[in-house]
Chain A
Amino acid sequence: MLELQTLSRHFGGVRAVDGLDLSVAEGQIFGLIGPNGSGKSTTVNVITGLFAPTSGKILFRGEDLAAVPTHRRLRAGIARTFQNIRLFGQLSVWQNLWVAQNSAEDQERQGFFARWLGGQGGVRAEIAQLLEFSGLAHKQDELAANLAFGEQRRLELARAMAAKPKLLLLDEPAAGMNSEEIAQLRERILSLRERGVTILLVEHVMELVMGVTDRIAVLNFGQKIAEGTPAEIQAHPAVRKAYLGGDAA
């Protein structure tokens, strides 16, 4: 589904991402972990097109993404959530989901006129589903800025889903959550996989990563230092060194 070939992104002298090779298969939940500053978020930003790679390739379903601008990548099937939530605060929950319905499927299904100038009627059912899924149905007319933090996170995820993605990039979705919320998030991610969404999970919170991913890659200083199943990664000495420094038991 997604392939990164010697992907590099430099900012002046800083090699945020350095020669990264990664392959995510369809239907996988792939974890990307690493200490702060290891290049995880930059990788997500490059995949979604916010930054152009300094060198290397990104292949999505076999297609080279080099010339594809950010908003088109969404239409091609890549959606993301943001680490520090970027909701449209002055729009309601409902509207946040509405403006995100830009998938190729939606474009074909509804005519141009209906999609842009039509009222809310045509998409009511779909958006209701998304609201149901995120437990936000009762707050659909509330301004996004007025939601509680946990609710905002759920809306952020729902909004990414509104785009009917094939690949979903989650950027630290569990930050600031307690165990109960993490368990709920885990359930949601698993049910997304059941709907056929491939997931790349960038995360710090090990409770989530180890419990939900099929495969994990570990970054440090922009380079991949390990890759394997959660069990393999937990036992990996290089990973331990990166996180804990030196040989720690």
Chain B
Amino acid sequence: MLDFLQAASDGVLFGATYALIGIGFTLVFGVMHKINMAYAAASIGGAYAGLLVLKVMAAAPPALVFLGAFAAGGLLGWMVYLTCFHFIPLSSPLATLMSTVGMLLLIDEVIVHFTEGMPQNYPAMFDDVMLRAGEFTLRGDLLLVFGVAVVCMAALMLLLYRTRLGLATRAVSQQPVAARLCGIRLEQVNATTFVVTGLLGGIAGALIGASVGTLSPLLTTPLTVKGLIVTVIGGLGSIPGAIVAGLLVGGFENVFQLYRGVTERDLYVMLLLFVFLVFRPGGIFAAKSGGD
């Protein structure tokens, strides 16, 4: 029982990173009704770019590396927007989908190229801190991951619900044509959505690197799949859904790993997705903006 609780709580804390990735996918979907397949890769790419801070300043504190990842994520987000969504007409959804896949492959290869395929160590914070309650442990670094993620989500909600930009974004996600007629510049909202989700993604990537300890290009594929699973379970377009689903998937994943081992773990996460698809295809919370 204790093992179960331990695995579940560790998993839920880590799941906050999945929640961030899920939010990134779901936000782009909500605003543009498109999936940015390159998102998880860009997040990991941002995390890698954060390591460049260490190249410049060898003894930089981890927080600076995270900040680097944050900024790089935003930049990468903007680049993905430019290459995949700015020029391709919105009436060609297959073309945008395909080009984000192209970017996914490109980012993956760039990472492999520059790191020569070697996994990179990632700085962690509070990894030596352990809060104990009897046999039960709360890892300090996981608590930080959870905390930072929560702060980011709160900042995002503030942005969406308390700023003009957020208002414009929500307007576009509900009625793009009417929003345009009200003078909202669609391109600006879309580009900003990508930058904001990119920023979130960069942080998520850094947090993943910090809690796992290393970064490897092999992370991008499973992260893409899990991020998408989280988005679907949470309901396409629903941010609260992505948050809950992310924590759920994180928790379940770790519990599956406890009972069935690492190799079978992902299979069970997949099964979780199918259960949802069969019984609740709209996700935990159905999308606010009418979905597809």
**Do chains A and B directly touch (beta carbons under 8 Å) in the complex?**
no
Q: Which residues of B contact A (CB under 8 A)?
A: none
